[in-house]
Chains A and B, each alone.
Chain A
Amino acid sequence: MNEGEQATGPIRHRAILVARRLAGSVGRTARIARWEVSRSTGTIDRKTILVVAAMILVVGAVGLSVADDGLGLEDELYVVGVDENDPYADVAAESDRFRSVPLEAIEISEDGSESNVDVVVTPDGELGYVGENGQQAFDAFRDAIESYNDERMANAEDEIAAYPVLVTVDYQERDPIESGGTSQSERADSDGTTDSDGTGSDAADDPATGSIEDGGETGTLTNGGDDEDGLQVPDVGGTVAEQSTPGTPETLSPPFPFQSLVLAFLFIVPMNFLIQAYGSTIMDERIKRRGELLLVSPSSRYEIVAGKTLPYVLGLVAIVVATAAVIGGGVLSVAAAIPIALVFLGSTFAGAMLARSFKELTFVTVTISVFLTTYTFVPAIFTDVTPIALISPLTLVVMDLQGDPVAVGEYLFSTIPFYLSALVLFLLGIGIYREEDMFAQKPIPAKVVDAITSQIDAISSRVHAYWSPFALSILFIPFVFAAQLLAVALLFVVPEAIALPVMFIIAAVIEEFAKSIHVYAGFARGRFESSIRVAVVVGALSGLGFFVGEKITHVGQLVGLPELTISMAAFGPELSSDLSVALLLALFLAPLVLHVVTATVSAVGARRGPATYAAALVVATLVHALYNLGVVALVV
C-alpha cells in the first residue's frame, strides 16, 4: 500500500461509517414515519374521514370555481324579461349575474309584488323593475349595461371614435411614510428639486402623480406591469387578463388582487386542519407517556421527531402541489407555500411540546392558526402596493398567479425567515423531546427556558459553554427578523409621528430579548457560573453573535426595504455613499458596540434571577431605542 492509500484509508473508513450511520438513521426515520401513518390511520373514525373528504371537496370546488371564472356566487342572480332581438338581451347574455326570459313568458301577480322576473325591458327600450329584488336588480343591470358599453368601446376597431381623449395612468410604488421630506418621487426628479405641491408644474415628469397627455390619439390606459422591478404591478379590476385594457375613468380601481388572494388563501386552509392532527399526535406521546418507549429504543430523538413529522410534511407538500395544480399556480407557488407549511408544523410541534394538556394544545394551535394566517395573508393584500408585502411568502403566490416576475432575492427575502424559523422551532422542540421535559408538568415559561438550555447543552458538547450565547444569538435572528417585519407591517399605516417611536421601542425590545433570553436560561439552569466576569463574557459573546448574525442575514437590503423610514427604525438605515470612510466605519461598527454593551447589561442582570434580569432588560432596551433614534436621525 502506498502513502496515498494509507492516507485515504482512514478517511474512506470514516466515510463508510458515516454513510452507514446515515443509512441507519434514514431507515429508522422511515420506519417511524410508516408506523405513524398506519397508527394514525387506525385512529381516524369514519366521521373524521367524511369531514376531511368534504373539506377537500369544498377547497377543490372553490379553487376550480375561482380559477375558472371567479367565485360565481352571483351567477344568474337576477332575471331579465327582454325580447331576444332587443340589444339589451346581449347585455343580459354577457353578464353572469343575469338570465333572460322572453317578454311573453313574464308572469306578474295582480298586486305587482311577485314576478318571475326582476327587470323588464319593454319593446320600446324602457327599463323597469318588479318584485322584492327589483331595485337591486335594476341597479345591477345598469352597471352591466355600462360594463357592456365599456367593453364594446374597448374592442372598437376605431379607437379614436371610442376614446376621443386618452389619459395615461402609470401606477407607481408608493412610499407612504416619507423620510425627512424626501419621497421616492422627489428623488426621481431629474433636477434634484422638490415640487412644492407634488402635483405642480412638472407633473409630467413626476410619475407618482400620473400625467395627462394631449394628443390622446396615441395614448392608452396602462398599468405598470412592464416595470422591471415587478413589484408595482397594479391590477385594474384585479386580474391579469384585464391589464392594459382601455376603459373609462370610472373603470379605474385601486390595485387589489382579489382573485389571486382568494386562490392563494386556499394554500393556507388545509394547513390549519393538518396541524390539529399533528399537534394531537405529538401530545399523545407526551400525555400518555407513550414516547418513553421510543426514547429507550436505538432511535435518537431527532429520528423520532423526523419520523413522526415526515408524513405530515409529505401530506402538506401533496396538498400544496394539488392546490397549485387546481388554481393554476406554478413551481413558484409551491416553493412559496412549502416554507409556510413548515412554519405551521414547526410552531405546532414546539407548541405541542410546551402545552400541558389537550386544552392548552387547543389554545396553542388556534393561536398558531390565527397568527400565521394573519401574518401570511394580510401582507399579501398589499402585493401590488409595497415591498413590505414580501414579508409573506403568500405574496409570492399572488405574484405567481398574476404572472408577475419574482427575483431570486425577493424569493429568498420572503422565505428564508420562514425556513429558518421552522428549523429553530423544531430544534427548540427537539431540545425538550426527552423524558425529563416531555412528561413534566412545568409552566410554559420554565419549559421554554429548558428548551433553550437544551440547545446550550448541545452547543456546549462541541465547544466551550461560553460560546453558546454567540451561536444562539445567531440562531434567533430569523425570529427577530420575522417579528420586526411583522411590526413594520402593522405600523405601516400608522402616522409616522406615532409609528417611528413605537417601532424604535419594539425593535429594541425584540432584539434585546433575543440577545439575552438564552443567557438568562444559562444562568437560571446553572450552565454558567453566576459571577460578574462570566456575565460580561457571555453577554459580550451574545452581542457579538447577534451582530454577526444580523450582518449575515441583512436580507432586508435585497429588496430595498430599509429605504422606508419605518423599516429603518427596525433594521437600521442604508448607509449613504456620501458619508466619509471614518463615519461609515463608525456606523458599521456602532451596532457591534451597541449589541455587546446592551447584551452585557442584560447578562449582568440575568445572573441574579428573573427580577434583576427584567430590570436589566428594560435598561438595555432603553439604551438600544435611544441608539436607534440617534443613528436614524444622524443618517437620514
Chain B
Amino acid sequence: MAIVEVADLRKEYGGFPAVEGSSFSIERGEVFGVVGPNGAGKTTTLKMLAGLVEPSGGSATVVGHEPGEPAMQRRLGFLPEESPLYEEMTAIEYLTFFADLYDVAADVARDRIDGTLDRLDLEHRNRRIGNMSKGMKRKVAIARALVNDPDVLIFDEPASGLDPLTTNYIIEFTRELSEDGKTIVFSAHNLFHVESICDRIAVMNDGRIVARGTIEEIREAHGGTEYHVYATADGSHGDGLGEIEVARENGRVRHVVSEMSDVETIREIVEADDGRVTDIQTKTPTLEEIFLEIASTSDSDGEAEA
C-alpha cells in the first residue's frame, strides 16, 4: 500500500487556483520528486501534504492519516524551503526542544541528535545558531526534520542557495536517507539533483501535474532518444522515413530522426546521391530539456501519465 496517497488535491487562494486536481501515490522507501517552474504549485502541494495548508478539495493521506493529524505529524519530517530557526538558541538546545515536542525520550533524543549531527558533519553544536554559516544552519534544519525518526520526509528545496560543496553533501545525505528506507518527497529547481536521486517525479506547471513517472518513462514520453546523422548530401527525400528534421551546418546536412531504421535509410539515400555519412550521434535529452519542453507546451494540456 502506498505511504502517500493524493487524489484530486486542489487549493485555491481567493479564487485563484494554486493547485488543480493533483493525483499521485508514493510507495514506501521511494524518492519522489516534484519539479516545476516558480508558481507551479510545488510548495503548496508539499505544504498540503505536511498539514500546513488546508486543501480546498480532494484528499490526501500520509502514513494512513490525513495531513494535520497528530499521529501523522509524529511520523513526518518537514524541511521547508527557508530555514526558520531560533537563532538565539544553540543547535543542541534547538534540536532537543523539538525532540521534546515530539515526545522523544531524552536519552534517545540525545543519541539521535548526536548521531545525525555526526552524519551531517556539523561541528560547533553548542554555538548559537545565529552565529552559524548558511550551510551549517541548513544542516541543523535537516537534523530537526529527522529528530523524530520520521517515516516520510518532505524536503522542499533542501539545497537552495547553498554552495556546491554543501549542496552535494546534502544531496548525498538525502540519498543515504533513502537507502535507510525513508520515503522522501523532494522538490528542487536543480533538475540534475532530481534526476540523480529521484525514483519517480511529477512535473507541475500552472498548478497542474503535466507529467509523472520514472525519469525514463518521462524521457520516453517527452522526447526519447534522437539520432543526429551528419552527411555530405541530403538524405531526407526517401520513402517511408518517419518524422525528420533537416538542417545545414558547416557544409554538412544534419538529419534528426528517432528510429534507428531511419538512420540506415538516410545512409542509403545519401550514398545513392554520391554523398557519404560523416558522423552519427545519439542524443538523450536531459530532464531539464524535457522540463522546458513540457513547461512550454503544457498550457492547454491535461495531466499526462508518462
Chain A residues proximal to chain B, CB less than 8 Å? 24, 28, 31-32, 35, 38-39, 42-43, 288-300, 434-436
Closest to B72 in A: A298
Chain B's nearest CB lies how many Å from the CB of A70? Answer: 44
Q: B78: nearest residue on chain A (CB-CB)?
A: A296
- Other-chain contact of B84, A28, A292, A297 (Cβ < 8 Å): A292
Main secondary structure of the interface of A (DSSP, over half): helix
The reply to whether A435 and B52 form a contact with Cβ atoms under 8 Å apart is: yes
Nearest chain-B residue to A457 (Cβ)?
B54
Which 3 A-B pairs rank lowest in CB-CB distance, beginning with the nearest?
A435-B52, A42-B88, A298-B70
Contact B86–A39 (Cβ < 8 Å): yes
CB contact under 8 A between A289 and B97, given known A43-B88, A296-B50, A435-B52: no
- The contact of A293 among B54, B70, B80, B93, by CB within 8 Å, is B80
B82 at the interface (CB under 8 A from A): yes
State in angstroms the CA–CA spacing of A165 and B88 once bound together.
Answer: 75
Residue of A nearest to B128 (CB): A42
Complex CA–CA separation, A288 to B103 (angstroms) = 25
Contacts of A292 in B (CB 8 A): 52, 80, 84
Q: Which of B80, B89, B101 contacts A39 (CB 8 A)?
A: B89
Chain B residue at minimum C-beta to C-beta distance from A27:
B103
A6: min CB distance to chain B, Å:
29
The reply on B17 being an interface residue by CB < 8 A is: no
* Nearest Cβ on chain A to B92's Cβ, whole angstroms: 13
Contact present for A290 and B85 (CB under 8 Å): yes
CB distance from A310 to the nearest CB of B (A): 15
Contact status B51-A296, CB under 8 Å: yes
Closest CB in chain A relative to B81 CB, distance in Å: 10
Find residues 59-104 in chain B having any chain A CB closer than 8 Å to their own CB.
Answer: 70, 73-74, 76, 78, 80, 82, 84-86, 88-89, 93, 97-98, 100-103
Is B101 a contact of A297 with CB atoms below 8 Å?
Answer: yes
A–B pairs, 20, beta carbons within 8 Å = A24-B103, A32-B101, A35-B100, A38-B93, A39-B86, A39-B88, A288-B84, A289-B84, A290-B85, A292-B80, A293-B78, A293-B98, A295-B52, A296-B51, A296-B76, A297-B98, A298-B70, A298-B74, A300-B70, A436-B53
| Cα distance A297–B53 in the bound complex, in angstroms | 14
- Scoring A292, A296, A435 by chain B CB atoms within 10 A of each residue's CB, the highest score goes to A296
B125 near A: Cβ within 8 Å?
no
* Structural contact, B144 and A289, CB atoms closer than 8 A: no
B84→A299 contact, CB < 8 A: no
Pick the residue among B47, B70, B100 that contacts A31 (CB under 8 A): B100
CA distance A43 to B70 in the complex (A): 30
1/0 per residue, CB under 8 A from A, across B6-20: the answer is 000000010000000
A477 vs B160: C-alpha distance when bound (angstroms): 49
Bound-state Cα–Cα, A241 to B98, Å: 57
Does the CB pair A298–B84 fall under 8 Å? no
| Closest Cβ–Cβ distance, residue B174 to chain A (whole Å) | 19
With a cutoff of 8 Å between Cβ atoms, the chain B residues found around residue A294 in the complex are 101
Please name 11 further chain A to chain B contacts, defined as beta carbons within 8 Å, in addition to the given A43-B88, A293-B144, A294-B101, sorted by A numbering: A290-B84, A292-B80, A295-B51, A296-B76, A297-B98, A298-B70, A298-B73, A298-B101, A298-B102, A435-B47, A435-B52
Contact A297 B73 (CB under 8 A): yes
Q: Does A31 contact B101, Cβ atoms closer than 8 Å? A: yes
Given contacts A296-B73, A298-B73, contact A289 B102 (CB under 8 A): no
Q: Shortest distance in angstroms between A41's beta carbon and chain B's nearest beta carbon?
A: 9
In the complex, A35→B13 CA distance in Å?
34
- Rounded to whole angstroms, the CA-CA distance of A456 and B98 in the bound complex is 32
CB distance from B281 to the nearest CB of A (A): 48
Residues of chain A lying within 8 A (CB to CB) of residue B78:
293, 296
A295: which B residues are within 8 A, CB to CB?
51-52
Question: Which residue of A has the minimal Cβ distance to B93?
Answer: A38
Residue contact B85 to A35, C-beta cutoff 8 Å: no
- Within the complex, the shortest CB–CB distance from B56 to chain A, in Å, comes to 10
- Chain A residues whose CB sits within 8 angstroms of the CB of B53 once the complex forms: 435-436
